Structure 1
Amino acid sequence: MGGFEEQVKARAKEMKSLFKKGVKIVGDSCKKGWNKIKHLKR
C-alpha cells in the first residue's frame, strides 16, 4: 500500500508541473488570439 501512495504523490507532482506549463501555454495562445481579433477590428 505504501508504494502505491508514493506513486500517487509522484504523479500529483508531475501533474502540477504539467498543469502550470499548460496554463502558461494556453494563456500565451489566448493573448495571441485576442491580439489578432483586436487588429482585425481596426
Structure 2
Amino acid sequence: MGKFEEQVKDRAKELKTLFKKGVKIVGESCKKGWHKVKHIRG
C-alpha cells in the first residue's frame, strides 16, 4: 500500500507541474494520468 500511495503522490506532482506549464496540454495529460491511476488499482 505504501508504494502505491507514493506512486499516486508522484503522479499528482507531475500533473501539477504540467498544469503550471500549460493548461491546454494538461487537459489531455490529466485525463490520461488519472485514467492510469484508476487502472493501477484494478
TM-score (norm 2): 0.51
Structure with larger RCO (C-alpha < 8 A, sep 6+): 2
CA RMSD of aligned residues (A): 1.6
Aligned residues: 24
Moved >3 Å (runs of 4+)? none
Identity of aligned residues (%): 83
For 2:3, the equivalent position in structure 1 comes to 3
Looking at CA atoms only, which structure, 1 or 2, has the larger radius of gyration?
Answer: 1
Q: Which runs of 5+ in 1 are unaligned?
A: 26-42
TM-score (norm 1): 0.51
